[in-house]
Structure 1
C-alpha cells in the first residue's frame, strides 16, 4: 500500500501574513478586506519544520544554551565600516554595521538599485562582495555599472542571477562573501515556505533564512524591498522586525532624493541623507542648502528664505509665490511641494487679522523640488511673507531669513531647535533673521546677524515692509 502525503489547507493574509483555519472576508489582525488567500501545506513539511525548530532557536538561529547573569555577558561594540557614500554613512550613523541585515525601500525609479550598485562596487575594494539580481539579467547590471562608471575590484565583485534562497546561500558560502545585496526580497523564494514569490510566507521565510546566515557568518547584507500604493513595504510587517535597519528613499518632483532610517538597531533615526539623481548615479549632497536656494542675485517680490529641519539637519530653502489677477470666476490655489490645507489656513489667517483681500490666482513653489511635510509648520511666516510680498509688490532682501509658526489668532508660536536654525542661517551669510519671540536666546548674539524676535503677524509685517 502506497503511503500518501496528507495535505493541509490554510488561509494567509496577503497584507499582514496572519494565517487562519478558514476563509473570512476580513482579516481580524489588520482589518483588511478580501486579502486572505488559500495555501496548501504538506504534512511532511510541517513535520520537518517541527523537527528543525531547535536548530533555529535563539539569536541568529544559534541556541543560547540557557539563561546567563547579566554580568556574565560580554558587551561588544558594533563594528562599523565607512562606505564612502557620505549621505549613506550619515544616515547609518557612521557607516554600515558589519554583520547587519538592512532593507532599503522606495518607489519604482527612486534609485534603490543605483545606490546599492555604487555601494557594492565600493565595498568590493576591500572585501568579497556579491550582487544577486532576481529581476534583471547580469548583462543589464553590467551595463549599469559601465554607464555609471563605477570603480570596482574585478577580483572581489561577483554577480549572481538567482531566485532560490538556498542557492544564494550556497554561493555566499562557496565564495566566502562578506557583503551582499539581494534585489529583491519579493523576487526570491525558499523551499521552506509555500506560496508564490512575494507572498507573505515566502517573504518572511526568505528574510529569516538570509538573516540567520548573515548573523552566523558575519555577513553584511542589503535587501531591496518593493512598496505598495501606500508607500509602505509590500508584504508582512514582520519583515521589518526581522532586519536591523529599514531605510527608505523618498522621491521629489525633481532630481532630489531623501534617504531616512525608519528603524536602526545600531544608531538613531533622526538623520536624513540628501542625494541628487543624475547621469552618474545617486550623488551625495554635502551642502543641501545650495540646491534649495535659487542662487539668483536679483531681488524680486514673492521670494522668501526660511530654514526647515529634516531629521537632525537644518536646511535653508527658498519659498516663491506668484499672484496674478484671476480670469476665472474663482481664484486658483496651486502649490508645488507644499500642503494645500496649510495654505488655505494661512490665507484665512491673513484675511481675518490683517484684512488682506486675496482675489488673485496664487502659485506657491519650493525651489529645488523638495516636498515639505504638513508637520513642518516653521515655514508659516515665510509663506505669508512671500504671499504679501507678491500681492503688495515689495521685496524681501535676499539676506533675510524668516522662520516661525503662525497660530489661528495671529500670534507667532515658537519652533523646535531655534538656536541651531539661526546658526545655520548665520553661517550662510544671512544678515537679518526673524524668529518667534519665545525662541530668542542670548547665544544668538555675536553670530554676525541681526536676530529680530516677533510676537504677532502684525509686528512682522511692520518690520518687513
Structure 2
C-alpha cells in the first residue's frame, strides 16, 4: 500500500510550503499553515477521450490524435444556453458564483428539474435541508421527473461520489463547494485545502464517468470566487451572476473551455424564478409613447451583445447653496467630467440640481464610455426643455477637448438600433461605414460636441 505524503498549506491563501512556519510569507497571516495529507494516486489511463487529464499511451504526433467533438445539450433556459455557447457540455464541470441572493440556487433548481426529464439527476445541498429545497420547487412550480430527480443533504465528498455511482447519476449539482469536505484533506469546510481536494475529487469522477456537474461557489468581499485560485483552474467553465439594482441579473462566463467568454445572459428575478430575457432592450427602454424632455437612447455593449438603453435626466432649480448631483447606475466621476466639458466648450451654465437614472435598473461600468453623448444630450434636453425624438439613438465618447471619439463595434450597434425601429442614429465620424447607407436609417456622423448640439436642437 502506497504511503500518504504530507504537505504544509496555508488555510487562508492556499500557498504550499516545504515545512511548517508561523507566518505565511504570501498573505502575511499568522498561524494559518497546517499539515495536509496527500493521498498517493495510481497512474491510470482510464479517462474520457479528448478531455484534459487523459494520461498514458506516451507521446503522439498531431496527425495521430483522434479528433473529439464536445457534445452539447440544450437546457431549455435560453440565456443560460447562450452563455454556455450552445448548451451544457456533456462531462463538464462548471462553477456558478454570485452574491448571496443573486439567484444561484434558484437558477440551478430550474436547471436540474429540466435535466431530470432526460437523465438521472442529483441535487446535493450542504447548506439547507431537503424540505427547504422541496418548498422552493413547489413555490416555483417546476416541472420535473419524479423517477430521475434525487435529493441529498451531505457534506462528505466521498459519500457524494458513492451516491453518484450507486444511482448512476449523469447530471449533478453540489451546493456549495465551500460547504463540503474530503477525508483526504485537513482543515475546516471552505479552507483552501478542503476546497481544492473536494473539487479535484469531484472533477476526476465526472471526467471518468461522463457526468455533467455544477458547483455553487461563494464570493469574497471583492465579488470574486472565494477559495484558492486552483479551483478556477480545475473546472471547465466559470460563470458569475451579477446583481443590478432591481430584478435584473446578468450572467457572464469568465472562463469556458468549450466556448467564448464574451457572451452575456440577461435574467429577470420573479416569483416564478429566474426568467430568461430574450429581448433585454425592451426592459431597458421605458416604452413610453409620450415624448418629454430629459431622455436619450443609446446602445451599449455587454460582452458580445448590443443592448439599447434609455438614459433619463431631470434638472431642477437648486434650493440650497450648492447644486446636487445624483445618479443611479452611472459613474459620478464621469458625469462630473462631462458637465465640465459642457461648461468649457459650450458655455453651458449648470446651476441646477441634476438627477440621472437608467431605465431597467442596469449598472454601467466606468469603462463604458459610449454613453457620453447620450448623457450630454439628456442633460441639455432637460436643461433647455427640448425633446429628443424616441426614434433617435445617440452613441459616442466625448473627450476633454470636445471631440467625439470612436467606439468599438460601431456597425453592429447601428444594426441593433435599426432592428428596433430607430430612424435617426448619431455616431462618431470615424465609426461611419458605407455599409450603413443601406440599413434604412439616417446616419449622422459627428466630429465635435458642437455638431451634436446643432443637429439635435
The TM-score normalised by the length of structure 2 is: 0.95
Q: CA deviation at 1:16?
A: 4.3
Give the one of 5, 10, 13 matched to 1:12: 10
For the 8 Å contact 2:241–2:252, the answer to whether it is kept is yes
For the 8 Å contact 1:60–1:216, the answer to whether it is kept is no
Aligned partners of 1:429, 1:342: CA distance in 2, in Å? 29
Q: Give the aligned partner of residue 390 of structure 2.
A: 398
Q: CA deviation at 1:55?
A: 5.3
For the 8 Å contact 1:60–1:212, the answer to whether it is kept is no
Q: Give the aligned partner of residue 338 of structure 2.
A: 346
Give the one of 102, 105, 112 matched to 1:120: 112
Q: CA deviation at 1:334?
A: 1.1
Relative to structure 1, the CA distance from residue 62 to residue 436 in structure 2 (aligned partners, 3 Å threshold; closer, same or farther) is: closer
Q: Which runs of 5+ in 1 are unaligned?
A: none
Q: CA deviation at 1:18?
A: 3.9
Task: Provide the alpha-carbon RMSD of the alignment.
Answer: 2.0
Aligned partners of 1:350, 1:36: CA distance in 2, in Å? 56
Q: Give the aligned partner of residue 146 of structure 1.
A: 138
Q: Which runs of 5+ in 2 are unaligned?
A: none
Q: Give the aligned partner of residue 423 of structure 2.
A: 431
Relative to structure 1, the CA distance from residue 108 to residue 425 in structure 2 (aligned partners, 3 Å threshold; closer, same or farther) is: same
Q: Give the aligned partner of residue 95 of structure 2.
A: 103
For the 8 Å contact 1:116–1:181, the answer to whether it is kept is yes
1:284 aligns with 2:276: yes
The SS at the match of 1:54 is: coil
Q: CA deviation at 1:145?
A: 0.4
For the 8 Å contact 1:14–1:35, the answer to whether it is kept is no
For the 8 Å contact 2:9–2:193, the answer to whether it is kept is no
Q: CA deviation at 1:22?
A: 4.3
Give the one of 13, 23, 34 matched to 1:39: 34
Q: Give the aligned partner of residue 206 of structure 1.
A: 198
Q: CA deviation at 1:345?
A: 1.1
For the 8 Å contact 2:23–2:29, the answer to whether it is kept is yes
The C-alpha deviation readout for 1:264-290, integer Å capped at 9, x for no partner, is: 000001110000000000000000000
For the 8 Å contact 1:14–1:36, the answer to whether it is kept is no
Q: Give the aligned partner of residue 52 of structure 1.
A: 41
Q: Give the aligned partner of residue 158 of structure 1.
A: 150
Aligned partners of 1:65, 1:158: CA distance in 2, in Å? 38
Q: CA deviation at 1:54?
A: 3.3
The C-alpha deviation readout for 1:296-345, integer Å capped at 9, x for no partner, is: 11111110000001111110010001111222222211111111111111
Q: Give the aligned partner of residue 229 of structure 2.
A: 237
Q: CA deviation at 1:198?
A: 0.1
Aligned partners of 2:157, 2:6: CA distance in 1, in Å? 24
Aligned partners of 2:215, 2:7: CA distance in 1, in Å? 30
Q: How does 1:380-391 map to 2 (within 5 A)?
A: 380-391=372-383
| Worse-superposed segment, 82-91 or 387-396 | 387-396
Q: CA deviation at 1:189?
A: 0.3
The C-alpha deviation readout for 1:110-164, integer Å capped at 9, x for no partner, is: 0000000000000010001000000000010000000000011110000010000
| Worse-superposed segment, 51-60 or 298-307 | 51-60
Q: CA deviation at 1:361?
A: 1.3
For the 8 Å contact 1:11–1:21, the answer to whether it is kept is no
The C-alpha deviation readout for 1:358-392, integer Å capped at 9, x for no partner, is: 11111111100001111111000000111111111
The SS at the match of 2:184 is: coil
For the 8 Å contact 2:45–2:56, the answer to whether it is kept is no
Aligned partners of 2:426, 2:31: CA distance in 1, in Å? 56
Q: Give the aligned partner of residue 183 of structure 1.
A: 175
Aligned partners of 1:236, 1:9: CA distance in 2, in Å? 16
Q: CA deviation at 1:179?
A: 0.3
The TM-score normalised by the length of structure 1 is: 0.93
The SS at the match of 1:181 is: strand
The SS at the match of 2:241 is: strand
For the 8 Å contact 2:7–2:16, the answer to whether it is kept is no
Aligned partners of 1:433, 1:404: CA distance in 2, in Å? 11
Aligned length: 452
Q: Give the aligned partner of residue 19 of structure 2.
A: 21
Aligned partners of 2:454, 2:18: CA distance in 1, in Å? 66
For the 8 Å contact 1:13–1:36, the answer to whether it is kept is no
Aligned partners of 1:35, 1:320: CA distance in 2, in Å? 51
